[in-house]
């Protein structure tokens, strides 16, 4: 498992190649890449920014715990979580979650689990700023809580 919390961008192709490199037990790799959507202001302005803040120390600790939970639930050959922080612009990559397993079902399910749990358990916060200068902390969504909770009942 690899966990990285970083300011800089990452290369998705290179990261996915590295996940299965040298391991011929891997039959499939699933990944999720999260991107910054354009932040539209009330005057329909475009070109806003998103700034991600996190809790250094606890962030890494929670990601390790979430990853360990995935490892205990699915037969994974490898897993990867990269999450960026700092100021990002529309189209920028925010997060990459990837899982490698012998068969696709485990890779798909574990990847979805990781991003669902990460959204509600890893201490990150998003600040959106529009080109008009409006700034708003993104509010947590009930739908994200529900997505995370469904893994409790059928896990």
Residues that bind other proteins (CB under 8 A): 34, 52-55, 57-58, 61, 83, 94-95, 115, 118-127, 137-140, 144
From the CB of 53, what's the least distance to other proteins, in Å? 6
From the CB of 130, what's the least distance to other proteins, in Å? 17
CB-count exposure of residue 117 (10 Å: 0-12, 13-18, 19+)? buried
Contacts of 76 (CB under 8 A, 6+ apart): 70, 99, 100, 101, 106, 107, 110
Of 12 and 102, the one with the shorter C-beta distance to other proteins is 12
DSSP for residue 115 = H
- CA dist 89 and 151 (Å) reads 32
From the CB of 16, what's the least distance to other proteins, in Å? 18
Of 78 and 95, the one with the shorter C-beta distance to other proteins is 95
- CA dist 28 and 30 (Å) reads 7
Of 3 and 127, the one with the shorter C-beta distance to other proteins is 127
From the CB of 94, what's the least distance to other proteins, in Å? 7
Of 54 and 77, the one with the shorter C-beta distance to other proteins is 54
């Amino acid at each position: 498992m690899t966990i990285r919390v970083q300011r800089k961008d990452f290369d998705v192709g290179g990261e996915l190649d590295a996940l299965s490199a040298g391991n011929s037990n891997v039959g499939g790799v699933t990944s999720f890449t999260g991107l910054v959507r354009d932040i539209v202001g009330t005057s329909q302005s475009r070109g806003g920014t998103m700034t991600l803040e996190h809790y250094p120390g606890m962030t890494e600790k929670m990601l390790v715990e979430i990853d360990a939970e995935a490892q205990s639930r699915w037969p994974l050959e490898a897993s990867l979580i990269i999450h960026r922080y700092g100021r990002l612009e529309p189209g920028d990559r925010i997060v990459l979650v990837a899982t490698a397993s012998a068969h696709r079902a485990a890779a798909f399910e574990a990847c979805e689990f990781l991003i669902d749990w990460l959204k509600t358990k890893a201490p990150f916060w998003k600040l959106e700023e529009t080109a008009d200068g409006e700034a708003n902390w993104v509010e947590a969504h009930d739908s994200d809580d529900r997505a995370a909770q469904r893994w409790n009942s059928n896990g």
